[in-house]
Structure 1
Amino acid sequence: MATYPSVPDGGAAPVDAAPVSDSAEATDRLLARLDLFDQRPDARALRARITELLDIVPGVRAVDVGCGSGLAVAELADLGLAAVGVDPDRNMLARARARRPDLDLREAGAYELPFPDGSVHRYRADKVYHVLDDPARALAEAHRVLAPGGRLVLAGQDWDAYVIDSDHPGTTRAIVRASADALPAPRAPRSQRALLLDAGFERVGVEGRVVAFTESDVLGMLLGMARAAAAAGAISEERAEEWTVDQQDRAERGRLFVAVPFFLVSAAKPTEEALVS
């Protein structure tokens, strides 16, 4: 699944590890965070732009890799596509099926998709590739299942480029770096254009957007990042506490600010005519 919270929390489980959520309670907490993020106007705008870049054609097969709650699968199905969601998390798939029993949701990961060669026309993966330890393998699998002319869109954040307002910029940099280093591919969007070209895709495009968080519900994520950085030895307990007090004070005064850079990377599999020429 797209193992990410409503706002980034500095960690996520591998997309091919099943199950990702090891309890019903953990799944429910994650689903609540997903729902909170998905309702934001900027989140809806990101999903809408992904759909635009996919160049929707009703009736064709589309796969959402790391489908999580199934929201994007439902949106694609409602647009008339033969939409399929794949996710390795059995608990999350059960929740998604309960919400939309009509959806085609399958237990699978990004490295081994349950489709024959050339049988998929649209491929999307939203906030997934930062947890893959071998993105080139995932893109090779995407290339395999896509039909000639099929389109792909990858969406995700750069975990090493978070912007957090703080009175302690040095500590902030250390916390952001520690959070990024805890992931297999925290800077995934930076390499995706090159990886797509290397994998044989064409018409590769890159767009950037920034999502800003100022609400107090982002505080839990920030404090979690500070605790994790201290536990990893990136900062001392004293620096973590100092930074935490600063962020708590900002939350109380309505002065929190976190900006997360997101990138949308799109591409197409060459047509057979292009391959011949």
Structure 2
Amino acid sequence: MDLSNQPKAKLELNKLQKRLRRLTGQAISDFNMIEEGDKVMVCLSGGKDSYTMLEILRNLQASAPIDFSIVAVNLDQKQPGFPEHILPAYLETLGVDFHILERDTYSIVKEIVPEGKTTCGLCSRLRRGSLYGFAEEIGATKIALGHHRDDILETLFLNMFFGGKMKSMPPKLLSDNGKHVVIRPLAYCKEKDIEAFAQLKEYPIIPCNLCGSQENLQRQVIKDMLQKWDKDFPGRTDTMFTALQNVVPSHLADTELFDFKGLAQSEGALNRLNVISL
């Protein structure tokens, strides 16, 4: 977008970019996401989140006190109608190193998942496996995903409501096989800021409905709930995210995290009680 004749839009874009840059930089620092010499594989889906992540990481790379490289990777899963030309054309204008990884996971999903059932779970697992394997091929030391603060909160409630677990998406994660470090640089960024930024940047968005999968209704219900809370009670979702960073295991009920069975009064406290009773 040419913002030269749109001072308000330009001002808003600059404000959003500074905010996203500050929050991303803070998350990277808090969780030590990127280190000297890292090769960061930025997973680019064609959605607003991954476009924004790539933009902000490239911006930070230019002024960071450490040296690290970026390579953008898109996984073409061979969904019918996928516009294969969009991402290569966009990335070439940036001059960023990139790879288009072609894996026909679409056919696998359609073969395994019954008609009418959501394909998102299996699709994401196949996508993750493909990306992890390719990261190893190109020697990437970090795998960057575009999940933001709202994704993290939504996942927390999804796991509590439907999975019986109190867990979410960590900003930094070691893969199950111990070979890959996954980072989420946008962990502190709000979706509404990312959406506004992407609209002003006019990114060539590729929709995530090409596979014909049903919408993930559970996540959408949670998203609607959080958005309503944010509207009706400003600051509530901020407080909830802060709570994720202030966990008190002794005030929950997980016996694996806290030794409730071994919890007992100290000898000094017992002596004081005995004195009082006398």
Shorter-chain TM range is: 0.3 to 0.5
Instruction: Select the structure that is richer in helix.
Output: 2
Rg comparison, structure with higher value: 2
Return the TM-score normalized by structure 1: 0.37
Instruction: Select the structure that is richer in strand.
Output: 1
Return the TM-score normalized by structure 2: 0.37
